[in-house]
Chain A
């Protein structure tokens, strides 16, 4: 296996195109696990860690931009994280353990496309886009459209996630919850990211974006649930009616994989409903505060 070290995105993209069975290496926290398990055997790994300026997190006028090499720790230490993106912080705190957070990148988390990845559902709920670089051109893609199936994205040969762009939204709040088997390092049994937002003039009620991870082979938005949530009007009676409606809807419609090692389908379905309830309450609390 060859180990290649490009110094620019263009060089990295070229190497990807030129070298047969090659893979990008960022933090390596997925790549090495896959290699050890014998699920991949690349002829070359292309280590992008020597490319300058890719680890930046920057707040621009109406968006937060996360560079391809920004790690979970970078995110957690980032001081100017806008309040409405608190779901990112929630997700970072659940993620792995200290050692892993120091290496794992957010872009790598997306690119690996594991169904329960912390940042898959979170970035979808936050309506984020990936800026995808290739020497053949740059394209922007909503994270929601990134996934094909577990472990597979729409990225083509030579393409690299260069940035993740998260739009800021006035009058919004977000949260992320996950269920896991142990409190310490674990993968999500199921996770839920939720954004609540008012329309521009704050005239109508609250609207929601909801995304579940590990409920299917890719993170899934739940438009029907979003609609149901928007009926919440702040009264306890209506909330409990809406949540129980959502729970029975999920029991009927979700179809998690039967042979998951982490939980039975029924468990996942119950947890999904409960997490959505928790995430929604948290968002409302954050918005109202």
Chain B
């Protein structure tokens, strides 16, 4: 069947309001009599709170209250409940909220916040995840054993390990014994920031002591609803979460961030809106940060290049509270060895409490960390084995019939990794060498393969409502958050295609309101088009069925005799328009049947399970997206700067619903990945303070830093069960950027790097620093 809307590059529905400034973001939302919150944050990385002095702050004109954590008797969380909304007795990182100053104006709140003095008894602190997991480390949560957590997680009380994910397959001891070449390396990926354009915000109000309404810049309104409802012990339907337009998320606005704090403070001022908007600086320590892994990998190969064993240890510096990164630990774990079939695997992935800001979801979700080690190691192995890195990969990749680490059998419909690798090699012209004329430059090329699965709750549901209107138009109501990725448009395309109407006839809600729009787990894991899109398709089909049921009454036949096309229901050569069926069909004499038509669609991912307690295996991935990336770089040896001349991404993402938007996602991810590969890192002082909490010294790429050429190719092996064959693609462009660049750098210079970012300090030290001190 020829598709009319799906597969077309429809302009984003919300482009106009965003370009004109009409779109309302959280900071634009205004209420009368709003009170402002300024957070007083811990200035020590680890300590006991002795006294909070608020007298001076209270004297500031306009101050209405100063709320501290003393009386808090609950812990917030989703997977593990380990964090109070305000520090109680104890602080665990610099930036942790200690008090919320509430005032008539933000200026008054800020002024008073500076006057709050906190005395601490300082405790030893630890930032490195391997140190933190060690026996000598200061214990950050003595109460770990008493924390509630969901099944599938494995805290180790008495240590800083809040989750230990273990996976085993085959017999690694035997595997290494049978190996001729063993490569062992250690890699690090530093803490990075999401640097969303829009800072986090929340505005909350309580009424009648038991109803809570909160506006929030969240990717997960229903997650927020559930967590607040549990925290305050109020029913789900009395917590209302409204999300206006969202200005970028990248995972940093998923799960919970500032909502518990805002809601807790608002409880002291019933009937009034309390507003908290983070500053740019607070974005680096007051919400969520990303990555922060130390990984050790050992890979064993036979002489002819068969990868037979892998042993991996990953330590993730999760920050002072573990709830936000606990699933990344699992995701990094089972993806740790990349897109390869390995008979014998042993993986230990540790989520470790550290005295740093909190790590949360960050585009890629464990996969960039994993591929940074695996794809570097594959290149190194190819050298040791004196074989071609492309051949070595092709020999070991997951292909139809292979069994992955989890025990899943890969099917042809999972996508064409071999095709992706071959295409990337072709696009980058890997066999063509061009030496720069000027000897100050060194040029190199390389590839890095990738795979990704959406890491999600086993019951990560989506639901959608479609309402038919009297003029033949439709409302599509759903609660995914369009933060720029274009899901509003993509889902409208799926609805239009299924209903057989022009896409202009679909209106999708902008923003989300848990009071009106139906349940959605959250907008993460690149899952919306694939997962919520399936629900849209179901809802559209249910509308058509309803239309047919009504029309069958009119035509006095059964629905199966009817067809839908051209916005009409047909019975032979007779037909009735969707418009006439939408809100109650009216016969010529005026009497009407049926009522307004509503279609619904609901799904959960099929067949997900918790990991097996012993082997860590199981149905942890609902599907897979495979791909390959390739970089052509030029190093300026005098400045130590890398220029990415060309960057190629080939993804088998199934049917592409909207090609321009899909390419936009990949290009955005590539540029973000280049930032992390070349420059981005949070810099800690020896006291544990983030020193570069601003965009002056946390350098993200600018337009001038994008590659000269970005090539994006989609292979389209249809995904069974995905709407029109679509599968996830939004994060994937970031997964293997760093290893592709580092492999190309090795190609250019012969230098191997294991730590990120590949900045001037690292490169110039390697080029000129023989015998230099650190």
Contacts and interface: CB of A to CB of B under 8 A. Distances in A.
Contact of B699 (A179, A186, A267, A274): A186
B764 A270 contact: yes
Contacts of A278: 638
A262 B704 contact: no
Contact of B765 (A183, A261, A262, A266): A266
Contacts of B679: 181-182
A54 to B, nearest CB: 28
B697 A261 contact: yes
A271 interface: yes
Contact of A274 (B639, B697, B769): B639
Given A179-B639, A187-B696, A270-B768, A263 B760 contact: yes
Contacts of A148: none
Tell me which of B761, B765, B767, B773 has the highest count of chain A C-beta atoms within 10 A of its own C-beta: B761
A204 interface: no
A189 B696 CA distance: 12
A180 B683 CA distance: 17
A266 B769 CA distance: 8
B692 A261 contact: yes
Interface size class of A (residues with CB under 8 A): 20 to 34
Contacts of A184: 701-705
A186 B679 CA distance: 12
A155 interface: no
A156 to B, nearest CB: 30
A40 interface: no
Contacts of A32: none
Nearest to B685: A259
A179 B705 CA distance: 14
Contact of B639 (A185, A187, A264, A271): A271
A251 B638 CA distance: 15
B764 A266 contact: yes
Interface string B672-702: 0000000100010000000110001101111
Interface in B695-732: 696-697, 699-705
Contacts of B638: 274, 277-278
B584 interface: no
Contact of B760 (A179, A183, A187): A179
B234 to A, nearest CB: 39
B683 A261 contact: yes
Contacts of A266: 761, 764-765, 768-769, 772-773
Contacts of A277: 638
Given A181-B679, A267-B765, A278-B638, A189 B704 contact: no
Interface size class of B (residues with CB under 8 A): 20 to 34
B640 interface: yes
Interface string B736-774: 000000000000000000000001110011011100110
A267 B702 contact: no
A66 to B, nearest CB: 26
Contacts, number: 59
Given A181-B699, A267-B765, A189 B691 contact: no
A267 B704 contact: no
B705 A267 contact: no
A182 B702 contact: yes
A214 to B, nearest CB: 13
Given A261-B691, A266-B765, A182 B699 contact: yes
A209 to B, nearest CB: 22
Tell me which of A181, A185, A261 has the highest count of chain B C-beta atoms within 10 A of its own C-beta: A181
B692 A264 contact: no
B197 to A, nearest CB: 15
B705 A182 contact: yes
Nearest to A185: B702
B760 A271 contact: yes
B760 A267 contact: yes
A184 B705 CA distance: 7
A183 B699 contact: no
Given A181-B699, A182-B704, A189 B760 contact: yes
Contact of B764 (A182, A261, A267): A267
A189 B697 CA distance: 11
A278 B704 CA distance: 22
A185 B694 CA distance: 13
A149 B751 CA distance: 39
Nearest to B114: A38
Given A274-B638, A278-B638, A181 B760 contact: yes
A264 B701 contact: no
Tell me which of A179, A189, A270, A271 has the highest count of chain B C-beta atoms within 10 A of its own C-beta: A270
Contact of B761 (A182, A183, A187, A263): A263
Contacts of A271: 639-640, 760, 764
Contacts of A179: 639, 641, 760
Nearest to B679: A181
A32 B768 CA distance: 39
Contacts of B759: 181
B643 to A, nearest CB: 8
B702 A262 contact: no
Contacts of B761: 263-264, 266-267
Nearest to B639: A179
B704 to A, nearest CB: 4
Nearest to A181: B699
A270 B683 CA distance: 22
Contacts of B704: 182-184
Contacts of B683: 261
Contacts of B697: 261-262
13 contacts: A179-B641, A179-B760, A182-B702, A183-B702, A183-B705, A187-B696, A261-B691, A261-B692, A266-B769, A267-B761, A270-B764, A270-B767, A277-B638
Given A261-B692, A277-B638, 18 more contacts: A179-B641, A181-B759, A182-B701, A183-B702, A183-B704, A184-B704, A186-B699, A187-B696, A261-B691, A261-B697, A264-B765, A266-B765, A266-B768, A267-B764, A270-B640, A270-B768, A274-B638, A278-B638
Interface of B: 638-641, 679, 683, 691-692, 696-697, 699-705, 759-761, 764-765, 767-769, 772-773
Closest 7 CB pairs of A and B: A184-B702, A183-B704, A274-B638, A184-B704, A261-B697, A264-B761, A181-B699
